[in-house]
Structure 1
Amino acid sequence: MASIAAKIALAGLAALALGAGVAYALTRPDPHPADYWAGLGQPDLAHGETLFWAGGCASCHAAKDAQGEAVKLLSGGRALPTAFGTFNVPNISSDPKAGIGSWTLAQFGDAMTRGVGPRGEHLYPSFPYGSYARMSREDVNDLFGYLKSLPASPDIAPAHALNFPFNLRLAVGGWKLLYFTDAPRVDLANASDAVRRGQYLVEGPGHCGECHTPRNVMGGFQTGQWLAGGPNPEGEGRIPDITPGSDSIGAWSEEDIANYLETGFTPDFDSVGGSMVEVQQNLSHLPKEDLLAIAAYLKAVPAR
């Protein structure tokens, strides 16, 4: 009997080990192959700056209320309170120790598009790599080149202060298995070139859905609710629905939307407010054709 019990116990341990191995294989960090980032050549810094504004890098990584050239000092340190705990935004300046000055393109690109840190660790999706995953290799190269051209800061942000079990980075692999994808958020068959450009900007570097799409209790986007608005992930108030069916911008024309992003004024001559102020200020640096492309996309997505 003891022998049978021992065999059952060993079989159970083997099954557990096998299950753990399969689980790890499915959820381990998954960077791109090394050669994915090879051969891209010198970055286009002017285009990198456009991507910097499209991605709103300064909105999180610069000091709060920074103005002018100070928005390009990406020293981090802002605290982002959420239901999962507090995320402290890291330094992504060109400083080789405190920032990303010593990173390779592959390390930066894998962080941006795969959520994998420079030591091969999972990054928390408070950093919106779930959107940046749609960025092209060339755009990532241009953005990285531009970031390295900006001033260095020696400031080191505090560590995240997250609640259990969200403080376990291994658990992020499970989250990625459930929610991480680089597929388009909406299927826009036969879309115009302008709509496709807008889709790239909104779903990729602009990461608009990170605030404008409601989430479930695990922090994943709610299926079928793309850009339909929801609770402010950082606290009070709601982020508005920006689909064609909304009562916020649903009745606006494409020109109205583009003008709002460019100037900060609504068709009724009201002005942008709340957390959208920084977003609008960033997007105002984009070429008008990109703002019109964003507007064309927002008019083409399904109404909610």
Structure 2
Amino acid sequence: MTDNPVENASTTTPAPLTPLTPLTLLGLGAMGTALAGAWLAAGHPLTVWNRTAARAGTPAARGATVAGSAAEAVAANRLVVVCLLDDDSVEEALADTDLAGKDLVNLVTGTPGQARARAAWAERRGARYLDGGIMAVPPMIGVPAAGPYVFYSGSSELFEEHRTVLAVPAGTRYVGGDAGHAALHDVALLSAMYGMFAGVAHAFALVRGEAVAPGELAPMLAGWLTAMSGSVATTASQLEAGDYTGGVVSSLAMQVAGKGTLLRTAAEQGVSAELLEPYFRLMERRLAAGGGEEDLTGVVDLLRR
């Protein structure tokens, strides 16, 4: 036995580091470039391709391999991520590629129907398929504190195998084996967002030209919208229960009665009510059908064709 610290030190050879998964990225628009940057920063070997070759300059400077064609890029790695303009662009870019044995992750914004058709198309060509809906803008990618995430649906095996790689640029939320469900969740959230934007636009239009600075209204407006966001959970619980009268704070009848004030104020301010009127018409239809004691949840049923 010795007191020599050198002799007492462990002589076990450290285990070799597991190499990071290499992947291919097709598409270097603003979002594609942000994705590439995140994977490269994390040390993943990356092969990229873009129809306009000049856009590959930034990833190349950071260590990405630039392929001369989509087929060459696809051949380079098993995991292939697509971030092109639309579904037609995916069809065109991958038309002459060999997808047999590939894991194809499609981050192109599309419809649920397009995603399901693309999944079947990929399967016929021998590939596993995962569809994705990105809930972020490019500056949020690779910045966890900004809260970016991506909905994924399709092959659960593909997702589980590559979830660590996919989580590098943004968080991951797997929403099931139906390939169309990522797009469905994506569009549902975006649709709600645009509805909110419509209300915000109307609110600012009302005060435009008055001695009310937009910057003065903004924090009050944001705070009010945040407070009202609690109604989302109420709507969900009422839909699941099939009872739209539970927990009602302001009945449909009361809200229909009060809409006149909103419309008259718009008229007084010289503001079009075209962003509000369609929703008010749905409220009136539900009231006429006997839903006066309900919440606003019944409008959901009117939208179903």
Q: TM-score range by the shorter chain?
A: under 0.3
Q: Which has the larger radius of gyration?
A: 2
TM superposition score normalised by structure 2: 0.25
Q: Quick check: which one's helix share is greater?
A: 2
Q: Which has the higher contact order (CA 8 A, sep 6+)?
A: 1
TM superposition score normalised by structure 1: 0.25
Q: Quick check: which one's strand share is greater?
A: 2
